[in-house]
Amino acid sequence: MPPSKTENEDNEDTIKFLLASDCHLGYAEKDAIRGRDSLVTFEEVLQLAQQHKVDFLLLGGDLFHENKPSRDTLHGCMALFRQYCMGGSPIQVEFLSDQAINFATSKFPIVNYEDPNYNVSIPVFSIHGNHDDPSGPNNLCALDLLSVCGLVNHFGKIQSLEKIEITPLLMQKGLTKLALYGLGSVRDERLHRLFCHKHVHMLRPKEEKNSWFNVLCLHQNRSKHGQTNYIPEQFLDDFLDLVIWGHEHECKIEPEHNPQQNFFVSQPGSTIATSLSEGESRQKHVGLVRIREKAVKCSKIALKTVRQFYMEDIALADTSLNPEDTDIARKVEEFCAAKVEALLERAEDEHTGNSRQPKQPLIRIRVDYSGGFELFNTNRFGQKFVDKVANPKDLILFHKKKVIDRKDIKPDVTGLDSYLRPEALDTARVEDLVREIGRASCRERV
């Protein structure tokens, strides 16, 4: 894909959209410190979409953290969509495909910016994730509520778990034709089986198939968690140009080339940390994607309102601390406290300066106490930093190195052949024994 076609100034042939995923609105909403984090960062995402004058916003699933978001979270989300996505700005992208098929599960099967009852300035297209997936008698989810309100275009919702047909949303702007495929979250084991049985089909436009830029947005495990608990990239059709992979929270938004399938994969990651894991500690971004004919360019934009998160691993055996010291527990606690203070100084230095970025960072220190070190009270330790960090209750995680079971280690038998040689099997004796048993059986029958 030649980059020169997208390095020029945006023109009438360039489709430009903002890419985000896993916003998890409502995460930790009852936490007095972190309760508004998800909505604050989501507002920044919408502000960026407005600032860059994108043609639309594409969300890769898990807009909400809960299947049934609270009224406060739902109200906050709807208010933000109305504030930033409604208006009189003209939409330059023409919608070409049959909307009755694209939005077949919607009460109003029409793209919202063509609905005469609404003035939409930034269309939002979203698939559902595993956190906000459809359920209940009518198989509804929170995105369906936003859809009937005209705020979001919910696509990629499947109607059968026996056979999946994915119909693209066809859009055009000037000379650029975009086929946007969506697949909402399906249980990985089930989807893996459907792919293996060739029951997942992606429909293509009948005319000028090669003139379309094909994008797939899905929300599944990309990392292997078991034999069937993920979706290998090789399962996906090779006519795709770009795959947008939601669900994985580590930000790898710069497209990675898959040489076997010859498409690119962009993993936006989450906009908020929902676990204290290493992948969540990476810098959070959204992507500004430009497509012109068959060329694509993805520029990552760092989010400046995300709460800072720092993680550090400590092996006490590698320090100067002596486990035989009579006061070792206190010294280990002081050592960890010094590490926290150092990370707090780093957080202060690296703060973006944005007034909406929280001052209290998330900090996680994983302490390997193998070697006979004593533990200290982590709750009491966290109380020292109540006003300094956002997670005082789980600052410290103690763990030990996994001890290898000696039974799993195979002994080295190199060089023992000359001492231990198995005797050759006497096949003649075995044959005689079988023959004798057969004769005895015949005599008993007689």
Catalytic annotation, residues: 131
Whole-angstrom distance, CA of residue 24 vs CA of residue 131: 8
Residue type, 359: K
In the structure encoding, which two tokens stand for residue 336, read together? 């960890």
Whole-angstrom distance, CA of residue 29 vs CA of residue 65: 10
Q: Answer yes or no: are the C-beta atoms of 62 and 131 closer than 8 Å.
A: yes
Whole-angstrom distance, CA of residue 286 vs CA of residue 278: 19
Three-state SS for the chain is: CCCHHHHCCCCCCEEEEEEECCCCECCCCCCCCCCCHHHHHHHHHHHHHHHCCCCEEEECCCCECCCCCCHHHHHHHHHHHHHHHECCCCCCCEECCCHHHHCCCCCCCCCHHHCCCCCECCCEEECCCCCCCCECCCCECHHHHHHHCCCCEECCCCCCCCCEEECCEEEEECCEEEEEEEECCCCHHHHHHHHHCCCEEECCCCCCHHHEEEEEEEECCCCCCCCCCCCCHHHCCCCCCEEEEECCCCCEEEEEEECCCCEEEEECCCCCCCCCCCHHHCCCEEEEEEEECCEEEEEEEECCCCCCEEEEEEEHHHCCCCCCCCCHHHHHHHHHHHHHHHHHHHHHHHCCCCCCCCCCCEEEEEEECCCCCCCCCHHHHHHCCCCCCCCHHHCEEEECCCCCCHHHCCCCCCCCCCCCCCCCCCHHHHHHHHHHHHHHHHHHHC
Whole-angstrom distance, CA of residue 25 vs CA of residue 64: 4
Whole-angstrom distance, CA of residue 141 vs CA of residue 161: 17
Helix axes 71-85, 37-51, angle to 10 degrees: 10
